[in-house]
Amino acid sequence: TEGSAAFSTGQKTAPAANILSIRKRLADTTVELPSGGSMMIAGLVRDDVRQAVNQFPGLGKIPVLGTLFRSRDFVRNESELIIIITPYLARPVARNDLAKPDDNFNAASDGAGMFLGRVNRVYGTMQTDRPPGRYHGVVGFIYK
């Protein structure tokens, strides 16, 4: 399992350019769990401390008055990454029996998207077959 995060190093190579980097944090383990059972496999803590002194060119180097033209930044970032796994057993099914994320999606017209900021129609026009009756049973778990 891995977690990645983009961050800025704070270093500047050009007047308005920051360098972005990607930090990768990894955890590797083997566990045996039942379907639907959860377990925390990792808790990774990162503590970053950074201190920088910025000054006005030339005036910041004057011995006593230079402190008026300097600033000191102290930045401390603390982050914690917790990785929790939950396996689910799945039975093989036909491709046509699965629902796709874009089923029943009706895109908004160009005018509604441009002027009203809509992504989809509130009430679509696609007709779908609803299953008869109400659903009874457990969702998300397979019991033997």
DSSP the chain: -EEEEEEEEEEEEETTEEEEEEEEEE--------TT--EEEEEEEEEEEEEEEEE-TTGGGSTTGGGGGEEEEEEEEEEEEEEEE---------GGGSPPTTTT--BPPHHHHHHS--SB-SS-----PPPSS---S-SS----
**pTM score > 0.85 for this model?**
no
Query: Is the pLDDT reported for residue 100 higher than 70?
Result: yes
Query: Is the pLDDT reported for residue 113 higher than 60?
Result: yes
Higher pLDDT, 137 or 124: 137
**Residues 3-50 pLDDT 10s:** 566 555 555 555 555 666 777 777 788 888 888 888 888 888 888 888
Please report, for the chain, the start and end positions of each structural domain, with discontinuous segments joined by +: 39-85
